[in-house]
Amino acid sequence: MEKVKTYVAAVLAILFWGLSFIWSNRLVVQGIPVEYFLPIRIFFAAVLLLIFNIISGYSMRIRRHDMFTFFLLAACEPFIYFFCETYGIQFTGSPTISSLVIASTPVVAIFAGVIFFKEHITWQHIVGMAICLVGLIMVTRASRGDSRLFYFGLAVLVLAVIAEVAYASFTKALSDGYKPSVIVMYQFFIGSVFFLPLFLTRGMEHYTPEVYNAWGFWEPVLCLAVLCSCVAFVLWAYAIGKLGVAKSSIFQALNPVVTALAGFVLGDEVLHGGQWVGLGIAVLGVVLTQLDLGKKNLLEGLIRHKQ
């Protein structure tokens, strides 16, 4: 039952994050600066989590030796990751292509999990990841368009991937001592401080009440704050604590699938026959990574082979 709860938490988190590419893109196309809507999203989410933790009676005391870890956690995500992700969407001009780049996170996370947490990765996980990536490429195939900043956008998204893996590692290190909602609350409060100088300068530079106070602004911001920040991050922190860095990050490969489906339903993207096939292949790959088909550890196999 615990395993089912963990997988449900991971899938729901990915569902909300897949939708976040659509909601973020709606703000970007309105010309609203990243430096304005990101700090609002993060701070609003932090306040909601504070209220939730008080009502739940959770301990919110940070142990002295964990303070620097919380600082690094917030620096990686929300600050570096959200900044790079949102600018990546802006420069590439496509939420689906952006989410495909982010889907490479599990490849980096596999090595982080093995090196830093001694997590066990089998050949089955590697094969499943490869199958999943093939499906993702089929889903998200698209031309790069005419943007001169397209490749710069891709580079920025790679930085987001590195920040995401570092964030997962720090979350894993804190997961035994704190409730997931407490970890995420401090993550967002500290992250809000990082964003404050940018919010007060570039974020407020072209402030116009008619645009910034309209429902067209607040609808995606509230969706991002409540669903993609509060709910998704708490669920993800829980999943990381149970599954580990490598196995939980594999679920991020489904981000482009959710984004492509959401874009299709909402009319922002059009999927062709081959892309629907890709959806099935991507899901198959993720399922394969989660099945315990063998006991042999990948690293153990390599060592025995050398011997």
Q: What are the structural domain ranges in the chain? A: 2-120+144-244
Containing H/E element for 118? none
Q: What is the SS3 assignment for 213-275? A: CCHHHHHHHHHHHHHHHHHHHHHHHHHHHHHCHHHHHHHHHHHHHHHHHHHHHHCCCCCCHHH
| pLDDT for position 253 | 67
CA 227, CA 233: separation in Å to the nearest integer?
Answer: 9
Tens-binned pLDDT, residue by residue, of the chain (307 aa) = 778 888 888 889 888 887 887 888 888 888 888 889 989 999 999 999 999 999 999 999 999 999 999 999 999 988 998 888 878 877 877 666 677 677 666 666 666 666 666 667 677 777 877 887 777 677 655 444 545 677 788 788 888 888 888 888 888 889 888 999 999 999 999 999 999 999 999 889 888 888 888 888 999 999 999 999 899 988 988 888 888 766 776 676 677 677 767 777 766 656 667 767 776 777 677 667 656 554 444 434 433 433 3
